[in-house]
Amino acid sequence: MAAVAAEVCVKAAVGAPDALGDCPFSQRVLLTLEEKKIPYDTKFIDVSNRPDWFLAISPEGKVPVYKLDDGKWAPDSDVITQILEEKFPNPSPVAPQEYSSVGSKIFSSFIKFLKSKDANDGLEQALVDELHGLDEHLKQHGPYVNGENISAVDLSLAPKLFHLIIVLDHFKGWKVPENLTYVHAYVKLLFNQESFEKTKLAKDEYVTAGWAPKVNA
């Protein structure tokens, strides 16, 4: 068995302390570790009852966090994935700078539409516009954001799209428009990745249970 090269704390599912919860940023870090074939140890954190040892290493209580060589812990998936890239440069999933922001507004648009109580506020169309932009990019450059090989942009988008699809269907009965054929093909490709299968939430209800308080806020 390979020696553990990384330690990460990630969000636990509501009602399932030993399963990954509704944190696409936690899954992004796990996906990066899997794609780079880095042996790692995962600690699941119940964010509704954070243990004292966790608050000692992450005073703000944020997940994910990654253990650095000096024993300190780094928060934020952007920071963590950059650290992993520098420490374990091969294989490198970094996409060209001009592609780094592809799909970057989809997640925030999804959250705004999810929380919307007004069907005429334009937030649904704003999300569709962002998804259409991704569809156009994939049409020209796909099947992944950076062509034939999966990149860090895909590893960031995959968990967010997974949550978007499950959560909007559950709470709003909404689905990604069928005419966005490249997005549909992209999603299927991402979700069939071995790394995604290994790191995805075990049950859809783990996703919806975690998002319920945000919907009802």
pLDDT of residue 1: 43
Length of the chain counted residue by residue: 217
Is the pLDDT assigned to residue 47 strictly greater than 70? yes
Q: Distance between CA 7 and CA 29 in Å, rounded?
A: 11
- CB of 5 within 8 A of CB of 39? yes
Phi, psi of 64 (to 5 degrees): -80, 160
- Give me the residue spans of the domains in the chain: 6-87, 97-215
Give the tens place of pLDDT for each residue, 54-64. Answer: 999 999 999 99
Q: Does domain 97-215 have CATH number 1.20.1050.10?
A: yes
Fold of the domain spanning 6-87: Glutaredoxin (3.40.30)
- CB of 213 within 8 A of CB of 111? no
Residue reference for tokens 């259409």 = 132
Q: Distance between CA 122 and CA 67 in Å, rounded?
A: 42
Give the tens place of pLDDT for each residue, 52-90. Answer: 999 999 999 999 999 999 999 999 999 999 999 999 998
Measured between its terminal Cα atoms, the distance across the chain in Å is: 45
Give the tens place of pLDDT for each residue, 105-132. Answer: 999 999 999 999 999 999 999 999 999 9
Same fold, 6-87 and 97-215: no
Catalytic member of 23, 95, 114, 131: 23
Alpha helices in 18-105 (DSSP H): 24-35, 52-57, 77-87
Q: Which residues pair with 40 in a beta bridge?
A: 6
Tell me the CA distances in angstroms from 3 to 39, 117, 160, one per residue in order: 7, 50, 30
- Quick check: is 9 catalytic? no
